[in-house]
Amino acid sequence: MPAIITNKFRIHNQEQFVESFSEASPNVYYMGIGRPQAWATSTRGDSRTQYEGTDTTPLTPVDSISQEYHIFDDILAAKRVTTSDVSIVITRRNWTSGTVYDYYRHDYGHYVTGSTSSVVTADSGATSLFDATFYVMNSTYDVYKVIDNNGGVASTEEPTNTGNTIFETSSDGYKWKYMYSLSAAQQTNFLSTDFMAVATNSTVAAANTDGAIDLVKIKSAGSGASSGDGDTTGIAIKGDGSGAQVTVTISSGVVSAVTVTSGGSGYTYGYISNADLVSAGITGLSGAELDVIIGPKGGHGEDAIKELGGYYVMLNTNFEAGEDSNTGDFTTANDFRRVVLMRDIESGNSAATATTLRGTKAIFLSSASGTFTVDEEINQATTGAVGKVVEHDTTNSILYYIQTRFNDEGLDSNGNLTAFSGTNTITGQSSSVTATPSSSTTTVDNISFTSGYNSGEIDEDTGDVIYIENRSPITRASDQTENVKLIIEF
């Protein structure tokens, strides 16, 4: 049975997702970074190998329970995503001189009247509105909808008028409708190479007339008009609305132009038949077909999100060096290879709400013979514990590390993940550095140690991982900010 899920359903889902960021828990989101160790073939506790790709070619994440557990093994840190970090976006289309843009139609994809084989198609070949190139952003970040492309000619004059009525650019004959402008904040946070923020301009919306007719296109110019060249005015558009009229121009016996002189209101369909033209005084005309273009509900600009296909959401997160709001959470001593979006994770057995969270485990050292090397294996011979160094903060005597489910990264000689504990010596397998954990219960650099240990601020395997992206290594630095723009399509 033929069926579709409409774009309105996609937009509805987008709206629910965006709304969830302003709701109380549950629905607390965090953008996390992880995987400091290189992508490689790892060895499991049963001696079987697990291929995880390479730094040059990371594997595509798998949507599985196993993958979700892996995320927590090596997560470094996470930052909360709030309402101000989220925006509805649409595909970015910069106005470029010499481009033939599509124009807005309400019936792309429908069968052409009188045909059982061909459908209404845009100049670009698109058979649906949101695949058509019917809107643009100009050089000053104003967004316009193309109401008419003058028969498919190239656009050569940049639209700049920000008034509330449809206007024409004189050099190319395009008709445009101003929709909205990107604010400075939207330009900074929600403008990428491929996407841009979308929002409704309330002034534009308030100036609309619901069901007004803005354009009538000539499908077939007809022939044989004997009434002479010139204009015939006051021709009514029939349909379920009222008040719309056009002027029809005849040249060499055919319809050469149709101009809307009164848009009327209330139309959800409309037509002007050849007989209507003859009755209006264009004698002898036959075969003329005109397409009345119906605007969106409320008019152009009434709801820019629905009108321009706003079923994408952008999440914009900045990882600012060490995140000064809580130093120690975001290391700049190591790189990362994974970005994740998590919902409703826990910290300390309670719902997480802090701005930033540290994922790595930490040991407060009472002494060390040197500096541990980033990414080296560390062992605690007395307990059998194994880990991998993320950072050695020699200033605060803190050793940050992870423990994964693989040999030389977290599993002991028996194939078990054993925790580091006590004041037993820790040895670096590459650096040969030895260190003694402290037995103190204290707070250092915002980290609360219990008998010298802290298990991190992200409770493992809590909440939901709803986005995973594997990447080649991203190197961090103390004077660097990583900006992550995550696009979700509904």
DSSP state of 321: T
Q: Mark out the alpha helices in 192-335 (DSSP H runs).
A: 202-206, 274-279, 304-307
Distance CA 96, CA 81 (A): 35
Residues 233 and 375 in one domain: no
Distance CA 184, CA 314 (A): 16
**Three-class SS string for 99-140?**
ECCCCCCCCCCCECCCCCCCECCCCCCCCCHHHCCCEEECCC
Residues 352 and 465 in one domain: yes
Nearest of 258, 217, 256, 252 to residue 235 by alpha carbon: 258
DSSP state of 407: B
**β-strand partners of 428:** 378
Residues 347 and 370 in one domain: no
Confidence (pLDDT) at 316: 96
Of 294, 326, 341, the domain-final residue: 294
Q: Would you state the structure tokens that stand for residue 386, as one six-digit string?
A: 């194994």
Q: Is the pTM of this model over 0.85?
A: yes
Distance CA 424, CA 386 (A): 13
**Is there a domain that residue 305 lies in?**
no
**Is there a domain that residue 205 lies in?**
no
Confidence (pLDDT) at 327: 66
Distance CA 460, CA 458 (A): 6
Look up the domain containing 249 and give its range: 213-294
Nearest of 276, 196, 181, 265 to residue 235 by alpha carbon: 276
Q: Are 259 and 171 in contact (CB under 8 A)?
A: no
**Is there a domain that residue 77 lies in?**
yes
Residues 283 and 401 in one domain: no
How many C-alpha atoms does 93 have within 13 Å on its Cβ side? 22
Residues 256 and 290 in one domain: yes
Residues 22 and 56 in one domain: yes
Confidence (pLDDT) at 322: 65
Residues 366 and 444 in one domain: yes
**Is there a domain that residue 206 lies in?**
no
Confidence (pLDDT) at 23: 83
Nearest of 389, 392, 391, 390 to residue 379 by alpha carbon: 389
Residues 18 and 69 in one domain: yes
Q: Are 314 and 85 in contact (CB under 8 A)?
A: no
Q: Would you state the structure tokens that stand for residue 470, as one six-digit string?
A: 């594997």
Q: Are 72 and 458 in contact (CB under 8 A)?
A: yes
Residues 280 and 161 in one domain: no
* Residues of the chain falling short of pLDDT 70: 25, 322-328
Residues 481 and 342 in one domain: yes
Q: Are 239 and 271 in contact (CB under 8 A)?
A: yes
Residues 347 and 434 in one domain: no
Residues 123 and 148 in one domain: yes
**Is there a domain that residue 106 lies in?**
yes
Cβ burial of 215 (10 Å; 0-12, 13-18, 19+) is: buried
Nearest of 441, 424, 430 to residue 408 by alpha carbon: 430
The CATH number assigned to the domain holding 32 equals 2.60.340.10
How many C-alpha atoms does 339 have within 13 Å on its Cβ side? 17
Q: Are 182 and 197 in contact (CB under 8 A)?
A: yes
Question: Which residues in 295-414 belong to E strands, given as ranges?
Answer: 312-320, 336-343, 346-347, 350-351, 356-358, 361-368, 377-380, 385-393, 398-402
How many structural domains are present in the chain?
Answer: 4
CA-to-CA separations, 261 to 264, 294, 297, in angstroms, rounded: 9, 15, 21
Q: Would you state the structure tokens that stand for residue 257, as one six-digit string?
A: 């132009």
**Is there a domain that residue 197 lies in?**
no
Q: Give the distance, in angstroms, between the CA of residue 435 and the centroid of all CA atoms in the same chain.
A: 46
Nearest of 426, 488, 473 to residue 74 by alpha carbon: 473
Distance CA 451, CA 438 (A): 7
**Is there a domain that residue 1 lies in?**
no
**Is there a domain that residue 425 lies in?**
yes
